[in-house]
Amino acid sequence: MDLRWETLLTETRATHARVPALQEFCALPEPVVEQPVTPHHIPAADLMIHDPNLHSNAFADFRDALINAAPLAQWRETYKGTGASADFLNRFACYEIIGIDAPFGATDIRAFVVYQPAGFHYPWHHHPAEEIYMVVAGEAEFHLEGENPQTLRPGDTAFHPSNAPHALITRDHPVMAYVLWRGDLNTKPVFTYPEDLS
């Protein structure tokens, strides 16, 4: 297996070891089964790879491992054909690290990296899977319906209950986040208020 994937798995495990909220959310598979993935590139991946403002002190090694593995990744197109704007599709980036379709197999969790550049609005969406976000680099405003928004920085986490609408806004900074799912892993997210997307 490509050393860049091996390094990413090592850094992912190291991050779990350091962040209790991640450990409480789920354990990582042990041992982990390696699976071939066919690389699939999207333009937004280049924004993440070349973003000079993904600042992180505590999680710089994890950030770098996520960037270094990016050319090998099967970048997802979760929102293609859903009414998402071209701007959204061109600037929102996500690939799976551990899970059903990932280089490291798991059937009970999914682990992703999500990136959005500065000045980006990820509209209200929801999914049956329970979810935790941990900011790896940069910062973003996390919105959970019914709660006050929170600005999260590297090491901070946000939990999203099953089917609870949530949204993400970046202003002056981009964000790179590590995202875990448990529960219903096969139902894709949907926009909560599709009528508001245009």
Positions in the binding site for Fe ion (CB under 5 A): 131
* Nearest CA among 119, 123, 135, 122 for reference residue 171: 119
Nearest to 131 by CA among 89, 187, 85: 187
- Contact (Cβ atoms closer than 8 angstroms) between residue 152 and residue 158: yes
Q: Rounded CA gap, 120 and 62, in Å?
A: 23
Which H or E run contains 163? Answer: none
Residue nearest to Fe ion (CB): 131
| Distance of closest approach, residue 168 Cβ to Fe ion, in angstroms | 9
- Start-end of H helices in the chain: 3-18, 20-25, 43-50, 60-68, 86-91
Compare residues 62 and 142 and give the one whose CB is closer to Fe ion.
142
Nearer to Fe ion, 131 or 139 (CB): 131
Task: Output the smallest distance, CB 145 to Fe ion, in A.
Answer: 12
Q: Least distance (Å) from Fe ion to the CB of residue 139?
A: 18
Q: Give me the residue label for tokens 């969406």.
A: 125
Least distance between Fe ion and beta carbon 160 (Å): 5
- Closer Cβ to Fe ion, 5 or 177, answer by number: 177
Decide whether 5 or 122 has the Cβ nearer to Fe ion. Answer: 122
